Amino acid sequence: MKTRSVTEGRRDPHMNDYASKTPISRQLYNRAKRVLPAGVSYGIRYFEPYPFFVAKAGGSKLYDVDGNEYIDFWLGHTALILGHSPKEVVKSVRKQLENGTQYGVSHELEVALAEQVVKMIPSAEMVRFTNSGTEANMYATRLARAFTSRNTIAKFEGGWHGGYDALHTGVKQPFDLPESAGLTHGALQDTILLPFNDLEGVEKRLRNEHPAAIIVEPMLGAGGGIAAEKEFLKGLREYCNRSDILLIFDEVITGFRLAPGGGQEYYGVKPDMTVLGKILGGGFPIGAFCGSRDIMKRLDTTIYKRPHYSFHGGTFAGNPITMTAGLTTLKILEDGKTTSRLNRLGDKTRVNIGQIFDKHGIDVQTGGVGSIFNTHFTKEPIRNAPSAFRADKKKLLDYNMALMTNGIFFLPAHTQALSTAHSKTDIEKLFNVTEAFAKKHNEY
């Protein structure tokens, strides 16, 4: 089949610039395509004309195989709040590498990290570790069902909880199309879709339903970096209390980022269960789910037997490398100084980017919360995923490519984040390149 040339059908001059700067990446991409579907390990990492290939990373920077340098605002799917290879984490991992990389039996580091999570996350009395956020959501959903003896789970339009079948629906527009082939009717028949930031809509949709749980991200991540309104989350909590429904916060992105205690501390709303990931692993693969002792007890095989206990496990669960990296990271974030500083920087970033586009007469809404930010090219205020999907995607991709060819990496069309490794100069460069793009954009 003919592949589209780099420039074919596009007016964006940044594409040519990108192609001329990344010939070795293009060769690697052609090689990758033969053995990795779409040439990538995760579909969202593909972007036009082809992704660059990273040779190394450090601090706030990615360096590609062609020798280009990028200030990284994608930060490994927002996981790297301390930037790439922070020295404290590297030191703890080095030490652990000498002592064993995988035990598969109990060890103190998993206890220490669980204690640290319990100390920091308001809703956590007990924790279990997984290897990804997807897995943690799967086990949390199962636990909610086991605990309540109910089947149905309610999630929000635009809510992304990973690729687990029962939650892999209603993420993108059109929300009524399955997100993947291969999802059975059986896997989805107990999933209810709810409108985000719309308490009345939630109550209306659930009038004749009694789900085991409502799962919500305090900020829709993949759904467009859309912050929940405080009154909405509070209202959801009250509704769940009144209706005897478990409230699960998926804090895979917001956990340890919005505050040491995540979105629940930031918003002052305590869920029954919390799902964590990303930052918790200190740069290594992780997920976790936690909640009250009463709920988590259902995982205890010394108390519950089949069919009453809820299974969780995994070969690499509690892997010591991840545990030590996570523990070192959480200790750094614990006093809240880092998250407060990054949140202030996030406010400045959203305001400045908004003002730059306003000044040049370009309709924009800057989204996100705390140290997470996003740009939607539209006049319409963004309160939910449908409004985010109506924004001008082409302009967003052009902006992201303009940044890339000027040494700034946003994963195109995704939500970006800040880290302690970003310097003042890094942020100024983001504003300057944004300004240059805004000035020129009408010429494209």
Ligand X SMILES: Cc1ncc(COP(=O)(O)O)c(C=O)c1O
Q: List contacts with ligand X (CB under 6 A).
A: 77, 132-134, 137, 160-162, 217, 221-222, 250, 252-253, 277, 287
**Residue nearer to ligand X on the CB measure, 49 or 158:** 158
d(CA 341, CA 196): 28
Q: Which is nearer to ligand X, 92 or 134 (CB)?
A: 134
Closest separation between CB of residue 254 and ligand X, Å? 8
DSSP 8-state class, residue 125: S
Tell me how far apart the alpha carbons of residues 175 and 39 are, in angstroms, rounded to a whole number. Answer: 27
CA-nearest of 224, 283, 272, 282 to 250 is 272
CB 130 within 8 A of CB 145: no
322 vs 434, which CB is nearer to ligand X?
322
Q: How far apart, in whole angstroms, are the C-alpha atoms of residue 375 and residue 15?
A: 20
Q: How far is the CB of 42 from ligand X (least distance, A)?
A: 8
3-state secondary structure of 102: coil
Read off φ and ψ for residue 282, nearest 5 degrees. 55, 30
Cβ(277)–Cβ(136) below 8 Å: yes
Cβ proximity to ligand X, 18 vs 284, nearer residue: 284
Q: Which residues pair with 70 in a beta bridge?
A: 62
Cα dihedral value 37, 42, 46, 51, nearest 10 = -100
Q: Shortest gap between Cβ of 161 and ligand X (angstroms)?
A: 5
CB 219 within 8 A of CB 249: no
Residue closer to ligand X, measured from CB, 39 or 277: 277
For the bound state, the minimum distance from the C-beta of residue 221 to ligand X, rounded and expressed in Å, comes to: 4
SS3 category, 151: coil
Phi, psi of 45 (to 5 degrees): -85, -10
Backbone angles phi, psi at 277, to 5 degrees: 180, -150
- What residue is closest to ligand X based on CB? 133
CB hemisphere CA count around 73 (13 angstroms): 30
Distance CA 173, CA 344 (A): 32
Q: Are 197 and 383 spatial neighbours (Cβ–Cβ below 8 Å)?
A: yes
Measured from the CB atom, is 49 or 368 closer to ligand X?
A: 368
Residue nearer to ligand X on the CB measure, 268 or 285: 285
Minimum CB–partner distance for residue 377 and ligand X (Å): 22
Give least dist CB 313 to ligand X, A: 17
Please classify residue 13 by burial: count the beta carbons closer than 10 Å to its beta carbon, then call 0-12 exposed, 13-18 middle and 19+ buried: middle
Give the shortest CB-138-to-ligand X separation in angstroms: 9
CB of 80 to ligand X, least distance (A): 13
Closest by CA position to 155, among listed 139, 138, 135, 171: 171
Question: Nearer Cβ to ligand X, position 252 or 290?
Answer: 252
Cβ proximity of 152 and 191 under 8 Å? yes
For the bound state, the minimum distance from the C-beta of residue 160 to ligand X, rounded and expressed in Å, comes to 5
274 DSSP β-pair partners: 249, 290
Q: How far apart are CA 397 and CA 377, in angstroms?
A: 10
Judge contact between 223 and 367, C-beta under 8 A: no
Pick the closer one to ligand X by CB: 75 or 252. Answer: 252
Residues facing 43 on adjacent strands? none
- Residue whose CB is less far from ligand X, 49 or 221: 221
Our CB check for ligand X shows the closer of 217 and 426 to be 217
